[in-house]
Amino acid sequence: MSVQPEGQLIADKEISEVDGITVRLAGDSGDGMQLLGTQLTNTSALLGNDVATFPDFPAEIRAPRGTRAGVSGFQVQFANSEIFTPGDTLDALVVMNPAAMVTNIADLRRGGLLIVNEDGFDAKALKLAALTEDPVTEEIEDRYRVFKVPMTKLTRDAVKELGLGMKEADRCKNFFAMGLVYWLFGRSLEPTLRFIDNKFGKKLPDVAAANEKALRAGWAFGETTETFGITYRVAPAKLKPGTYKNMMGNQALAWGLLAAAKRSGKEVFYSGYPITPASDILHELSRYKHFGTRTFQAEDEISACCAAIGAAFGGAMAVTASSGPGIALKAEAMGLGFILELPLIVINVQRGGPSTGLPTKTEQSDLLQAMFNRNGEAPLPIIAAQSPGDCFDAAQEAWRIAVKFMTPVILLSDGYIANGSEPWKVPDVNEMEPIVVTHPPDAAEGDAPFMPYARDENLARPWAIPGTAGLMHRVGGLEKADGSGNVSYDPDNHQLMTDKRAAKIEGIANDIPAQEVFGEESGDVLVISWGGTYGACHTAIERCQREGLSVSHAHIRYMNPMPANLGDLMRSFRKVLVPELNSGQLRMLLRAKYLVDCIGFNKVKGKPFSVSELMDQIHEIADKTNANGQKVG
Amino acid sequence: MNLPVLKAADFASDQDIRWCPGCGDYSILAQMKKVLPELGIPREKTVFVSGIGCSSRFPYYMNTYGMHSIHGRAPTFATGLKATRPDLSVWVITGDGDALSIGGNHFIHVLRRNLDINVVLFNNRIYGLTKGQYSPTSEEGQVTKSTPMGSIDHPLNPLSVAIAAEATFVARSLDAHVKHLAETLKRAAAHKGTSLVEVYQNCNVFNDGAMAYAQEKSQRLENTIELEHGKPLIFGTDRDKGIRQVGTQLEVVNLKDVAEDDLLFHDEKAMDPSLHFLLSRMRHPVMPEPIGVFRDVEGVATYDEQINDQVAAAKAKHGEADLNALFNSGDTWEVAS
């Protein structure tokens, strides 16, 4: 359904047309900031803007109210052109209390809008935020355009006639804030009114009515008071023609798995153990039992992985997912899956580590875990998704490789991708190519003995499943004899099987596309990135190219094996820069494999890269490396 | 259709068996091969899943489908397999170390979920494959390679654990009592839900004779008591002793002093596990140890049945899956060319 902004309501206020807006909504973790942000995102997407989001919330379910530890934020950028990040600096910041203000104000650009719920700034709130005085100082008012709005009081007034208790009334203040923000940026109320009706209309009509009143009151406040003299408009983005939908990474991943199952004529068996930020994949898939999806919430991580392997042995499309610490527990089972040579997808939605680390913050520091976290020689293919919508494609590619080569495949996502969202072009299911899966048929008495470890041209073994007459065989973790799969301790056989398994995985390089380059195929600087840093890197490089720098971008999707042309590509540039949200894991792999001296740009703060910090870094290297010694850009 | 009549030999794989000569495992393997043809399930529909340990080499010796997996996790592989392939007959082969130590967690959960599989737990109260360390069922004070001054761990009673997890089928048998073993395996196979059979199994290398009190024919009648549904608990070479319940305790009585009607009558069908738990607490040398079926409760839904029922119910409610409809559901917008 398409919607239009309710522009006709704007009477006498100035309207400013801008290319894009980056806004962050911040409040206490009980204030409903995530809901507010999600609604603003959906509404903006429906208006045809390109959107990108970045939720940021505490690890505690409810950190003490009003404290800095309990601040929950949601950032969204909506724009009139294609964007790849939720934005660096904020054009507008909405804060519900002092703690939210002091922890977020540094990201607001000079002259940006600071909208303050002034009712949230009483003495008690200041104390909770560990402040001795009101943070909205004269200096702040000079630096930003500050609007103080008594949101709590206005919300109470708006819902008074419904006779709600004070607590219930106050709970609606996020909808008031939403209404005000919608008015300011010309967003339609319709999608959110529909949301309120769907969520509360039947079950809790009082709550629905109160939320609606608060939302409309927020809008009306902007419209009627003299506080705001200007509103902003962002025109629709020129995206490729088609039907679009706003998608979060974990949802796209789950849908990608459903699509892969459909393409291969399989049903999904998904097993997981709850862990942030992977749990939403389990939640999402649990809703699609009518697709034949079976979900299993296991007793622990290794159980989840083992159950998936059991299902794979039986012929199902088996998937397990976790985050770094859970993947550590699955490692022994992954080694078994590797030697059994069964297809399996193991998803790692990475987060800050080590150990429990920063469970709700993003990082991409499990690449080496994916590469090496198994005993013995056990290489596995690794694919990394690059954006929320891309999770849909990455999941299908993981399954294609898993069945074609009969191997577990590791799929890397991260917290930034998983919880972020972007417009997703709805694919035409009828145009999806099949993923071919074959199981050998029944054998008759007198047929040659079945060889479970015979190999095809891809070095893949047959996927013979229980129930097939005449193909009875035993698999296990002990080394198997070439062909027959019987237990073998023969030294030469172990060498042979180790080599064959490695060659099989290495051979996947011939089955994947060559590494694409954004920009020239040679020059001063090649930036190599992977995973969720795609958006920031792409944007930074595009801007640097526009400034005239000789910089190109290679974003790697296939982490193992890597594309065959990658080494030559790296050698075609004077310098190779590898930005990563870790201490240099891809850089280590690239240097080891290609003997090219890459330069790292590394950050582990639980935060994504900003475009500007990447641009600074690219400039620094380009300046040093320009062939003519000239300053560029 | 004429189904071929299978014999025990048809279930033997072509692999050399590498258990120590005299190992109790041979007897369990032989009884399994004898029982399977009587079940009428084709070999290709039968899967053996095992963990790690001497017992867990079992699948290699069976001409069925099989998976020799990793330490303690056999129940989890079986869960994924059976949940997606309820048509298969799935057996988990495990040992006391495998099931109760490294796999203790999974052991509990597979039992409480009531997956329709059969678990055979070989209990020799020692780690055999790693050459003689004490196991979770080793007696207190047992001197082993890793406990030169005697084990200070309190042993775990697998059947008490299983009954506490409300397993729907719990039994015990002995490798040396082949007829009883075959009968017990058959009962386990017939049960719908997770069946657990603990088999006292002698390790003649590292723990020889640990259960001789139950295994030796001469001692068995005095030290074990054969459970029979609906029958009073009577034992002894001369069947002159019985078990009576007094409050929450069981005691051994002489039939000279107590009438049969006053003895405890075994009810394997009781949904309440309390009495079955009491039976599992009977330990040598204070009490005779029960062998046979402690518990065989019917009518409890199985995990595999329910996971597949939910899929069927969802399909009935929402119709066959339609990816196009899913992808276009909710709020969407059009970008024109």
Q: Distance, in angstroms, between B41 CA and closest chain A CA?
A: 11
- Computed over every residue of chain B, the mean pLDDT equals 96
Query: CATH number of the domain that B89 lies in?
Result: 3.40.50.970
Which residue from B minimizes the CA distance to A266? B84
Inter-chain residue contact A245 with B332, CB threshold 8 Å: yes
B2 assigned to some structural domain: no
* B183 and B258 fall within a common domain: no
For residue B65, the chain A residues in CB contact (below 8 A) are 313, 466, 472-474
Within a domain: B67:
yes
- Say if the Cβ atoms of A303 and B323 lie within 8 Å: no
| Claim to verify: residue B236 and residue B175 sit in the same structural domain | no
Q: How distant is the alpha carbon of residue A7 from its chain centre?
A: 33
Can you give the pLDDT at residue A30? 85
> Does some domain include residue B37?
yes
Q: Tell me the C-alpha distance between A272 and A293, whole Å.
A: 13
Structural domain range at position B138:
8-227+267-303
The whole-chain average pLDDT of chain A stands at: 94
Identify the pLDDT of residue A1: 33
For residue B253, being part of any structural domain is answered with yes
Confidence at A9, pLDDT banded by 50, 70, 90: very low
Residues A182, A192 contacting (CB under 8 angstroms): yes
Residue A633 has pLDDT above 80, yes or no: no
Q: Which pLDDT belongs to residue B215?
A: 95
Are B212 and B241 part of one and the same domain?
no
Instruction: Specify whether B142 is located in the same domain as B239.
Output: no
> Residue A384 CB: number of other CB atoms within 10 A?
29
**Shared domain check, B261 and B156:** no
Residue A8: its pLDDT value, please? 44
Q: How confident is the model at residue A229 (pLDDT cuts 50, 70, 90)?
A: confident
If asked whether residues B64 and B136 sit together in one domain, one would say yes
Nearest to A259 among B67, B323, B335 (CB): B323
Q: Per the CB < 8 Å rule, is A243 touching B66?
A: no
Residues in Cβ contact with A142 at an 8 Å cutoff, skipping those fewer than 6 apart: none
What is the rounded CA–CA span in Å between residue B40 and residue B24?
A: 26
Measured between beta carbons, the chain B residues lying within 8 angstroms of A304 are 76
pTM for this one?
Answer: 0.95
Asked if the domains A245-425 and A517-630 are classified in one and the same CATH topology, the answer is: yes
Spell out which residues of chain B touch residue A470, defining contact as CB-CB under 8 Å.
44
Higher-confidence residue: A238 or A294? A294
Average pLDDT over residues A388-416: 98
Q: Which CATH superfamily is A14-234 part of?
A: Pyruvate-ferredoxin oxidoreductase, PFOR, domain III (3.40.920.10)
Q: Are residues B122 and B250 in the same domain?
A: no
Q: Which residues of A touch B334 (CB under 8 A)?
A: 2, 242-244
Residue B328 lies in a domain: no
pLDDT tens for each residue of A498-536: 999 999 999 999 999 999 999 999 999 999 999 999 999
Nearest CA to A554 out of A585, A581, A522 is that of A522
Structure tokens at A96: 């519900």
Q: Are A311 and B70 in contact (CB < 8 Å)?
A: no
Distance from CA of A144 to the nearest CA of B (A): 35
Is B13 within 8 Å of A474 when comparing Cβ atoms?
yes
Region A29-52: mean pLDDT is 93
User: In this predicted structure, what is the pLDDT of residue B320?
Assistant: 81
Whether B252 and B190 share a structural domain: no
CATH for A517-630, among 2.60.120.10, 3.40.50.720, 3.40.50.920, 3.30.470.20? 3.40.50.920
Q: What is the ipTM of this complex?
A: 0.97
Assess whether B179 and B261 both reside in one domain: no
Q: Does the distance separating the beta carbons of A271 and B68 come in below 8 Å?
A: no
- Is B290 a member of any domain? yes
Q: Give me the mean pLDDT over the A155-181 stretch.
A: 92
pLDDT tens digits, one per residue of A96-150 = 999 999 999 999 999 999 999 999 999 999 999 999 999 999 999 999 999 999 9
Q: What DSSP designation does A84 have?
A: -
Structural domain spans, chain A: 14-234, 245-425, 438-442+449-511, 517-630
Instruction: Using a pLDDT cut of 90, give the percent of chain A over it.
Output: 90
Contact B81/A288, CB-based, under 8 Å?
Answer: no
DSSP code, position A68: G
Determine whether A614 is exposed, middle or buried from the number of CB atoms within 10 Å of its CB (0-12, 13-18, 19+).
buried
Domain-embedded: residue B76 = yes
Residues in chain A: 633
Decide if pLDDT at A308 tops 80.
yes
Residues B95 and B240 in one domain: no
Tokens 């009515």 correspond to: A209
| Chain-chain contact of A290 with B320 (C-beta, under 8 angstroms) | yes
Provide the greatest CA pair distance for chain A.
92
Asked if the structure places residue B241 within a domain, the reply is yes
- A296: which chain B residues are within 8 Å (Cβ-Cβ)? 79-80, 83, 307
Cα-based distances in Å from A118 to A28, A99, A177, A357, B143: 14, 13, 12, 35, 73
Task: Give A535-564 pLDDT, tens digit per residue.
Answer: 999 999 999 999 999 999 999 999 999 999
With tokens 């059947």, the residue in question is B159
Shortest alpha-carbon distance between residue B80 and chain A (Å): 4
How many domains are contained in chain B?
2
Mutate to test the interface with A, among B56, B61, B67 (most CBs of A within 10 A): B67
Q: Domain spanning A245-425: which CATH class is it, in words?
A: alpha beta
Mind telling me how many Å the CA of B248 is from chain A's nearest CA?
33
Q: Which residues in B lie closer than 8 A to residue A486 (C-beta atoms)?
A: 15, 60
Q: Answer whether A289's CB lies under 8 Å from A261's CB.
A: no
Say yes or no to pLDDT of A631 above 80: no
| Interval B124-153 mean pLDDT | 96
